[in-house]
Structure 1
Amino acid sequence: MSLIATSLFRSWRRGLLLALWVLASAPAVAAEPLRLNTGVGAPYIQADGKGFLDLLVPEIFRRLGLPAEAVGYVASERAMINANKGLDDGIAMRIKGLEAAYPNLLRVDEKIIDNDFVAYSIHHNFPTTGFETLRPHQVGYIVGWKVFEAKLDASYSVTRVQDADQLFKLLGNDRASVVLFERWQGNWLIRQRGLPAKLLLPPLVSTEMYMYLHVKHAHLVEPAASALRAAKADGTYRRIFERSLAILEAR
């Protein structure tokens, strides 16, 4: 080999070794986290990252070696559309059967939580063993909540409002003796407002909620279900539930 060729080879080798050293010493690029959306608010999703889904979603996928996060949407319908299109990677929590309307979503077959629809009252305390127990009361609920609309016909005294803010103002101003809402978000709101309202039990309706993944993540559906079952079995799920939701009913 000529002196020129030898020199060129040595220069090339030094350059290659330098490039390999740079690549080896460079920090690994973190994988983009999976985004699972939801249309619910606090205490499921919170600004401080300590909501129920804020904690549970990353835990499930951590067990699969993947980063993940729960993201909140103001518009629930937009959340489902984006997940179905694959703009987000899935839905953190929604009712069973969503795949019928959104065919690109696959249900993770392990329940996330029971979504309880309940009554709150300031001046009354009675067991809500059915919608009939509400008949003597002025009842408030949010327009469009089908779970209540289907049960409260014209024989009930009902006031309908546009949102949760109006609903709990209705209760606080004694314009309704009972209001109907979702359990954990209701508990959060009465604490935030300092309302002396009581949660009435048992729930009027209880619905199982599930996680969904876009079809591009079909290979993760069963592993995610197994990871959630494992979190329940080893107590992790219970700890997340207690620190984010159950604490709202602690006295």
Structure 2
Amino acid sequence: MNKFIGALLAVLLFSGLARAEKPVITFTTPTQLESAAARFFEDLYSEAFGRLGYGFKLLPRPTKRSLKDAESGEADGETARIDDPALEKQFPDLIRVDEPVGSMTLIVYTIDGPLRFDGWEDLSLLGKDDLVGYPRGILAIEQHAREFGHARVYITNSALQGCRMLTAGRLDYIISPRSLLRKLCSGSQGCDYSRLVEAGVLERIPTYPYLHRRHAALAPELARVLREMKADGAYRRIIQKWEKPSD
């Protein structure tokens, strides 16, 4: 009997050690951990990597540091970025996973500006008296910086700063991902989103996970699992639990 109990304890101890040694994939994210977007990513990737035999941990970082930490190998990847040749050139050790997890909608906001926009080409309507701001570190905006017509451009430290400057009358227009600005801005933070007027959509861009090059073999497997999750309803279930980061 004692031998049986000893053997049983040994099995339980071994299985506990095996669980403890489960490899963990870490992804950086430029969103705050308490945000709906971060919780969406945490649930999405926890399930996706769980199906592949990995644990998962989310690491919040500032926008540019998020990519740098993933590219340096400090983390194993990044939650969601657009498919941008400029990004891949700047961060050559990051590999795109070929399955989108959301999308980013870039919006021009104003309070009472008269202009309306339908695509990047309409930025040429901006005149020399127009003050336009956009947040530092968003490559999808930065690569169109030359299309701002004759406007005076102000690069803000964050989308929230741009919102505050817009509502204070220091800017005429700001450009930002809708989901980012909606989550950051509230009356208590000095920027009431309900005051903003959408002056037009510049672009809707799919976003993809990126893995560090050392996990290149894992990229097609993660893409396959994400497609499976969309097919079996897991992806939709997680979207319904948290807001989809695609607006």
In the aligned structure 1, how far is the partner of 2:237 from the partner of 2:245?
A: 11
Equivalent residue number for residue 37 of structure 1: 28
Question: Map of 1:1-251 to 2, 5 A cutoff?
Answer: 20-26=7-13, 28=16, 29-30=19-20, 31-38=22-29, 40-42=30-32, 45-46=33-34, 51-74=39-62, 76-77=64-65, 79-96=66-83, 97=85, 98-123=87-112, 127-131=116-120, 132=122, 135=126, 137-143=130-136, 145=138, 146-153=142-149, 155-191=150-186, 193-198=191-196, 200=198, 202-245=200-243
In the aligned structure 1, how far is the partner of 2:6 from the partner of 2:114?
A: 73
Q: TM-score, normalised by structure 1?
A: 0.73
Tell which deviates more after alignment, 191-200 or 224-233: 191-200
Identity of matched residues, %: 25
Offset of residue 209 of structure 1: 2.1
Gaps of 5+ in 2: none
Tell which deviates more after alignment, 178-187 or 113-122: 113-122
Equivalent residue number for residue 4 of structure 1: none
Deviations 1:114-147 (A, max 9, x none): 2222122333587520343662654222356514
Offset of residue 243 of structure 1: 4.5
Deviations 1:27-75 (A, max 9, x none): 614324210113x224xx4368863322322132133232213221125
Cα 1:216–1:18 change in 2 (3 A) is farther
8 Å CA contact retained: 1:50, 1:244: no
Gaps of 5+ in 1: 1-13
Deviations 1:170-226 (A, max 9, x none): 122122232111121111123464332346265213333221223333332212101
Larger Rg: 1
Q: TM-score, normalised by structure 2?
A: 0.74
